[in-house]
Amino acid sequence: MVKKTTAKKQSPKTVKKTKKASKAPAKKPVKAAPAKKKTASKKAPEKMSRREKLMHDIKQDLIAQKESLLKEAEETLSSLPSELNFPDMGDQATAETDRNFMLRLRDRERMLLKKIDETIERIDNNEDYGICEECGNNIDIKRLKARPVATCCIDCKTRQEEEERIAEGG
C-alpha cells in the first residue's frame, strides 16, 4: 500500500509539472503561430510550392547532369592512351590533336561541374538562385530551364557578350 500511495503522490506531481510545462508554452505559441501562418500562408503556398517544385526539378536535372559528366570524364581518362607513338608523323599529329581536343572538352566540363556545384549549393541554401547578378531582376523560368547554371538574365548576358565581342575586336 505504501508503494501505491507513494506512486500516487509522485505521479500527480509529475503530471502537474508536465501539464503546467506543456500548457503554458503550448497555448501561447499554438494560438499566436497559426494566426501568423494563416495570413502568410494564404498567398505563399501557391507561389512557394510552384517555386519549390521548379527548384527541385532543376536541382534533380543538375544532379543527373553532374553524374553524367563525371561518368564520361572517367571513361575518357581511362581510354586515353598515355603515349602516342605512331610510325607515321601524320597519324601521330592527328592522335595528339584528338587527345588535346578531348582534354580541352573535359576541362570545359570541369568548369561546368564547378558551376553545377555552386548552383546546387545556392538552391540548397535558399540563396539568390534565379535572380540576375547584374540587374537584380528575376531570371526568366524558360532561361533557367534551358541553362540552370545561368546567373544573369538574358538582357544582361546579351550585353556582356556584346562587350566581350567588342573587346576582342569582333
C-alpha span between 132 and 84 (Å, rounded) = 46
C-alpha span between 101 and 104 (Å, rounded) = 5
CA distances from 154 to 27, 123, 125, 144 (A): 51, 20, 24, 10
Q: Which of 104, 115, 106 is nearest to 78 (CA)?
A: 106
Q: Could you say which residues of the chain have pLDDT below 50?
A: 1-47
Q: Which of 105, 112, 77, 81 is nearest to 94 (CA)?
A: 81
Task: Answer yes or no: pTM beyond 0.85.
Answer: no
The 3-class SS string of 45-103 reads HHHHHHHHHHHHHHHHHHHHHHHHHHHHHHHHHHHCCCCCCCCCHHHHHHHHHHHHHHH
- Partners of 131 in the β-ladder: 138
C-alpha span between 13 and 148 (Å, rounded) = 59
pLDDT of residue 60: 93
C-alpha span between 82 and 23 (Å, rounded) = 73
Report the amino acid identity of residue 169.
G
Domain ranges in the chain are 48-129, 130-170
